[in-house]
Amino acid sequence: MLISEDRLAVDIIENACTAVLTLSEGLEQTELMASRFTKHEIRRQLLSTCDAHAALSAEAHEALEELDFAGWVGIGQRILEGGESEVHACWLAIRAMAPTTLGWVRFYRSQKPELFSASGRELLQC
């Protein structure tokens, strides 16, 4: 079972990846880079995903082993570098990282629901 902080981080990852895929649907790379608002919001969502991955505990890394933790750290670093590095990192995240991550999160939720259930002690603390 994941601790509450890890469950929150996974929720952030799932929501941010969904937002990225929704915002980028049907866009080519040149169209995305030409749209300041969409580019800014996708960048924000991707950095949120990177931060949430970084916040996950070692136990979450072990339980959610198919998530590409190192890949998301690299994406975050390249986005923060700016320039062409940022463009390539965003496009890689949009086309590969976000859909794969979202698929794995949904897999874990459906196949390992016990990871996402709160313990009685956590429920009493709410």
Residue 9 lies in a domain: yes
Instruction: Identify whether 125 is part of a domain.
Output: no
Domain that holds residue 74: 4-120
* Total-model pTM: 0.90
In a domain, 47, yes or no: yes
Confidence of residue 117 (pLDDT cuts 50, 70, 90): confident
**Token pair 């931060």 is at which residue?**
51
Q: Report the number of distinct structural domains present in the chain.
A: 1
Say if 126 falls within a structural domain: no
Which of these, 26, 56, 24, 61, lies nearest to 40 by C-alpha position? 24
Residues 28-80 pLDDT 10s: 999 988 999 999 999 999 999 999 999 999 999 999 999 999 999 999 999 99
Q: Is residue 44, in this structure, part of any structural domain at all? A: yes
Report pLDDT digits (tens) over 56-66. Answer: 999 999 999 99
Q: Is residue 61 part of a domain?
A: yes
For 69-112, what is each residue's pLDDT tens digit?
999 999 999 999 999 999 999 999 999 999 999 999 999 999 99
Residue 74 burial by Cβ neighbours in a 10 Å radius (0-12, 13-18, 19+):
middle
